[in-house]
Structure 1
Amino acid sequence: MIVIQRVRVRWTAAGRGAPEADRRRDLNEPVPLPAGVPAEEVVLHDVLADEAACYQRDATVSGGGFELARDAGFGLARRGADLVIDRLPGWESYPRRPGKQRLFVLKPGEVGRYRTNFRWTACECDQHWSYDEWNVHIAHQTPFVTDGPDHEADHRVHLYGGRRRTAVSRAARGRSRPRPR
């Protein structure tokens, strides 16, 4: 069995400020699977916390074959006992991801985590962007766990433009020098 848990947080431009960011801070963390998960080849647990619904989590569980993963944006393929996971192209969002991207290869009993964020619009004529942040865990022949993954792919970007922020300041890296005047 392959279990995919996709936890998504969605907000609009009005929710970009610090108070809204504080409200959604931990909403993309994995959650326990509900009881009664179907015994299918692929199980998708899709969780959405949308600003439009005051960030109340809405969850669905569905089961099926590899096409279920494709509908969620992932390509799955077997390579012997291993499971190859690709992110399928996405044309409706920024940054555009025109080709499929290899995320990781899971051996039986392993879990992979994929993190991404993007902004998107429903059509070219609509200039009202919304933003998504995803935290996806994929478990291959193992009970789904919310602990640390065996593999990780992090494709998060700076969504609002400008330079990408770094987590470490110059002073912390030991490169703090006075600038020439």
Structure 2
Amino acid sequence: MIVVQRVLTEWTKRSRGAPGAVRRNAVPEAFPLPPGAVFHQVTAYEQNDFTPAATVGDIVPARAGVRLARSPDGRLTVTGATDVWCQCVMVFPRRPERVVLELPPGTWGRWRLNFRLWEEDSDWRYQKWVLNVAYLPGLTPTDLFLAEPPLHRDDLVQLTTPTRSRQDIRIR
């Protein structure tokens, strides 16, 4: 079974410093999974004081921000889907569409990334995405993503100045 959980946090410059940043950074990177969920999205928006709100689906939608495919060797390949990250005038940093996780059967991984977005007639917005992806046989435990991931990719960047990703891939 494949399960995707996306935790999306969005804010403006009002929450770049304290006290807004404290509330923003308190948003967990994983939540308990609803039983039987295939796609679980949790959003935390500045205008709602970063109170998490969840939706559940029985398929992984295109808007999830990833493309999933099984490779010939049986791994689940997770690719960042850059065309759905933002329909904005500008998104920073630009990222190529590439494989971000390769999951052997029976495991899961976490990918963290962030953006600065701009649309016409608006201020900059900022987003942090945490994508937890499981490739497990049978039913998925509701507390699966609450543990430390066996595979982790960190593509968080400093959003106020151009910089490289802090890539960190760990396999346990």
**TM-score category by the smaller chain?**
0.7 to 0.9
The answer for the alignment partner of 2:15 in structure 1 is: 15
Q: TM-score scaled by structure 1?
A: 0.77
| Residue identity matched to 1:9 | T
Amino acid at match of 1:95: P
Q: 1:60 aligns with which of 50, 55, 58?
A: 55
The residue aligned with 1:29 is 29
Counterpart of 1:82 (choices 67, 71, 75) is: 75
Measured in 2, the distance between the counterparts of 1:58 and 1:28 equals 12
Residue deviations 1:44-98, cap 9 Å, x none?
A: 100001011111111000012xxx343211011111421111101246421112x
Conserved 8 A contact 1:15-1:51: yes
CA distance in 2, matches of 1:158, 1:9: 16
AA aligned to 1:6 is R
Instruction: Work out which of the two has the higher radius of gyration on C-alpha atoms and give 1 or 2.
Output: 1
Q: Secondary structure at the match of 1:85?
A: strand
Give the alignment of 1:1-181 within 5 angstroms.
1-35=1-35, 37-38=36-37, 43-64=38-59, 68-80=60-72, 81-89=74-82, 90=85, 92=88, 93-97=91-95, 99-121=96-118, 123=119, 125-141=120-136, 143-144=140-141, 145=144, 146-161=146-161
SS in 2 for 1:157: coil
8 Å Cα contact 1:6-1:137 kept in structure 2: yes
Q: Does the 8 Å contact 2:66/2:78 carry over to 1?
A: yes
Paired residues of 2:15 and 2:24 also in contact (CA < 8 A): no
Offset of 1:153 from its aligned partner?
1.2
- What is the TM-score of this pair, normalised by structure 2? 0.81
In angstroms, what is the RMSD of aligned CA positions? 2.1
Give, in angstroms, the shift of residue 117 of structure 1.
Answer: 0.9
Query: What's the CA shift string for 1:10-65, capped at 9, x where partnerless?
Result: 11111111211111222032110124x25xxxx1100001011111111000012x
SS in 1 for 2:111: strand
Kindly state the Cα deviation for residue 140 of structure 1 after the two structures are TM-superposed: 0.4
% identity of equivalent residues: 36
